[in-house]
Amino acid sequence: MDRLIEGHLYQNTLTQLTEAASLMKLDPNILERLKKPKRAILVSVPTRMDDGTVKVFDGYRVQHSSTLGPCKGGIRYHEGVNLSEVSALAMLMTFKCALAGLPLGGAKGGVRVNATKLSRSEKQRLTRRYTSEISSFIGPDRDIPAPDIGTDAQTMAWIMDTYSQEQGYAVPSVVTGKPIEIGGSLGRNTSTGRGVLYSVEEACNHLKIKQDFNIKVAIQGFGEVGASAATCAQELGLCITAVSDVGSGLYNEKGLNIPAVKEYYQKNRTLKGYKEADSITNDELLTSKCDVLVPAAIDGVVHENNAKNVKAKIIAEGANGPVTLEGHHILVDKGVFVVPDILANAGGVIVSYFEWVQDLQNFFWSEKEINSRLRDIMSTTFRVSLEHSNRHKIDMRKSAMITAVSRVSSAMLLRGLYPQ
Ligand code: GLU
């Protein structure tokens, strides 16, 4: 398996795990197991295109650990998806769930496809075939997928329907991030962005930074995470100076009007051409003048070559792995406070957990209750990691990882190794 899963993000994740293991003197037998996924499923996804031809895409579902509960994690449709990336992201999910104290393990799935090039019906056929290929490995007690890059509530509805048709009855709890009408949770679609901002609030409190319109926030990515982080930042009274999508960015030193930017983006599917701002590139956004930087697009965007030019005092990782380890060391040496991905972007899986619980009970909560429970978990998780970081004089990435790994490790030792 080693050769199949080696790759940049996997190596990064493994380095974080082994560094945490040596600092906390982790049982080497536990470390050996955590370095690899429990199970990696590789499937072909033959899909009929609108022109009648059949294209075969590579699909994956990797389950890293089910020690704390059913595996949990998103499904990504992207051209860059491969077994190594999905395995790294599955491992991060194990630690993200453990850090937030959720009774869930870690998984991730994906299909190697450019989803923006698919028509709606092609995407539906691909999703249903992919679901049917992995259906014996998922389920409310086994593994519960959710949205990630390139997938959304509609994609989850197709997965839920395909799985339910195979079972013969409706099984809403097989996926989270569904539309509300079929058992989705209020607040799920904004939960990751909201959680990122709750972690920024905690970081500001810790650094004694007053949160008002003088605080400038730059957000990379205007998908579900970036756009909802922007809305939440505005609700909290902060000034959003920059946002970007895949191909273009906007900058306004005096602050962007987020509802107007969102409306423009919804209408045009691009930020390009929006009048009330200067245009900047994605790279320029990362090093633009700001106090808080939220990279909420893809991995590896802050690295050894641009980290030294980052001006933010706080970075909250909205995406998974947006800062490379080399970049991270440069930032920490510069005194930048980095809230790591497994903490900063945990809001998504936290509300996914709420959705799963609501589906299992057939009893639904109000949005107010969901957001307040989310805020509680985010702030407890932040404080536990911060306390650990202060006590052991380590950065937040290490302290979050150690907290997560020690929870998984205790559970593994209690459950024991079986069958032998
Ligand atoms: N894809 C999201 C993540 O990376 C959400 C996962 C989930 O809700 O299960 O955290």
Give residue 36's pLDDT.
96
Q: Residues with Cβ < 8 Å from 307, sequence gap 6 or more?
A: 323, 326, 327, 328, 330, 331, 334
Q: What is the pLDDT of residues 335-368, one digit of tens each?
A: 999 999 999 999 999 999 999 999 999 999 999 9
Confidence of residue 79 (pLDDT cuts 50, 70, 90): very high
Task: State mean pLDDT over 209-226.
Answer: 97
Distance CA 96, CA 413 (A): 19
Domain boundary among 285, 315, 344: 344
In the block, which residue shows the tokens 């509805």?
A: 157
Q: Does residue 3 register a pLDDT over 90?
A: no
What was the pLDDT predicted at 369?
Answer: 98
Assigned domain for 382 exists: no
Quick one: pLDDT at residue 314? 98
User: Considering the domain boundaries, does residue 334 fall inside one?
Assistant: yes
Structural domain including 239 reads: 191-344
Q: Report whether residue 318 contacts ligand 1, using a CB cutoff of 6 Å.
A: no
> Looking at the structure, do residues 167 and 239 belong to the same domain, yes or no?
no
Q: Which pLDDT score, from 0 to 100, does residue 297 have?
A: 96
Model confidence at 2, pLDDT cuts 50, 70, 90, reads: confident
Q: Whose C-alpha lies nearest to ligand 1, atom 2?
A: 74
Quick one: what percent of the chain has pLDDT higher than 70? 100
Stretch 243-269: mean pLDDT, rounded?
97
In DSSP terms, 98 is beta-bridged to none
165 and 40 both lie in a single domain: yes
Say which of 72, 108, 178, 216 is annotated catalytic.
108
Write down the pLDDT at residue 4. 74
Q: What is the CATH number of the domain that holds 14?
A: 3.40.50.10860
Same domain membership, residue 202 and residue 154 = no
- Residue whose Cα lies nearest atom 8 of ligand 1: it is 349
Which residue type sits at 368? K
Ligand 1 and 70: CB distance under 6 A: no
Q: With beta carbons less than 8 A apart as the criterion, state whether 217 and 292 touch.
A: yes
CA of 93 to the centre of ligand 1 (A): 7
pLDDT tens figures, 118-175:
999 999 999 999 999 999 999 999 999 999 999 999 999 999 999 999 999 999 999 9
Same domain, 19 and 144: yes
Decide: 148 in ligand 1 pocket, CB within 6 A: yes
Picking from 263, 251, 188, the residue whose alpha carbon sits closest to that of residue 219 is 251
Q: Report yes or no on 361 lying in a domain.
A: no
Residue where a domain stops, chosen among 116, 147, 173: 173
Report the alpha-carbon distance of residue 251 to residue 281 in Å, rounded. 9
Confidence of residue 377 (pLDDT cuts 50, 70, 90): very high
Residue 408, domain member (yes or no) = no
205 and 336 part of one domain: yes
Residue 94 Cβ < 6 Å to ligand 1: no
| Residue 189 CB–ligand 1 contact under 6 Å | no
Task: Quote the pLDDT of residue 122.
Answer: 98
Tokens of 320: 């998974």
Which strand ranges, in their side-by-side order, compose the sheet holding 239-244? 278-280, 249-251, 239-244, 216-220, 292-295, 314-316, 337-339
Q: What percent of the chain has pLDDT over 90?
A: 98
pLDDT value, residue 8: 86
Q: Which atom of ligand 1 is nearest to the CA of 75?
A: 1
90 lines ligand 1 (CB under 6 A): no
Q: How far is the CA of 176 from the centre of ligand 1 (A)?
A: 9
Residues 149 and 202 in one domain: no
Is residue 132 one of the residues assigned to a domain? yes
Pick the last residue of a domain from 139, 173, 207.
173
Number of separate domains in the chain:
2
Whether 412 is in a domain gets the answer no
Does residue 165 fall inside a structural domain?
Answer: yes
Q: What is the 3-state secondary structure (H, E, C) of the chain?
A: CHHHHCCHHHHHHHHHHHHHHHHHCCCHHHHHHHCCCCEEEEEEEEEECCCCCEEEEEEEEEEEECCCCCEEEEEEEECCCCHHHHHHHHHHHHHHHHHCCCCCCEEEEEEECCHHHCCHHHHHHHHHHHHHHHCCCCECCCEEEEECCCCCHHHHHHHHHHHHHHHCCCCHHHCCCCCHHHCCCCCHHHHHHHHHHHHHHHHHHHCCCCCCCCCEEEEECCCHHHHHHHHHHHHCCCEEEEEECCCCEEECCCCCCHHHHHHHHHHHCCCCCCCCCEEECHHHHHCCCCCEEEECCCCCCECCCCHHHCCCCEEECCCCCCECHHHHHHHHHCCCEEECHHHHCCHHHHHHHHHHHHHHHCCCCCHHHHHHHHHHHHHHHHHHHHHHHHHHCCCHHHHHHHHHHHHHHHHHHHHCCCCC
Interval between CA 378 and ligand 1 midpoint (Å): 15
pLDDT higher than 90, residue 300: yes
Please state the rounded mean pLDDT for residues 195-203.
98
If asked whether residues 211 and 284 sit together in one domain, one would say yes
114 with 261, same domain: the answer is no
The pLDDT of residue 1 is 77
Are 167 and 282 in the same domain? no
Does residue 63 fall inside a structural domain? yes
Active site residue 308: no
Same domain flag for 323 and 202: yes
Regarding beta strands 71-78 and 239-244, do their DSSP bridges make them parallel or antiparallel, or are they unpaired?
A: unpaired
Are the C-beta atoms of 90 and 107 separated by less than 8 Å? Answer: yes
| Domain CATH code at residue 340 | 3.40.50.720
Identify whether residues 199 and 334 lie together within a single domain. yes
Please tell me whether residues 53 and 143 are part of one structural domain. Answer: yes
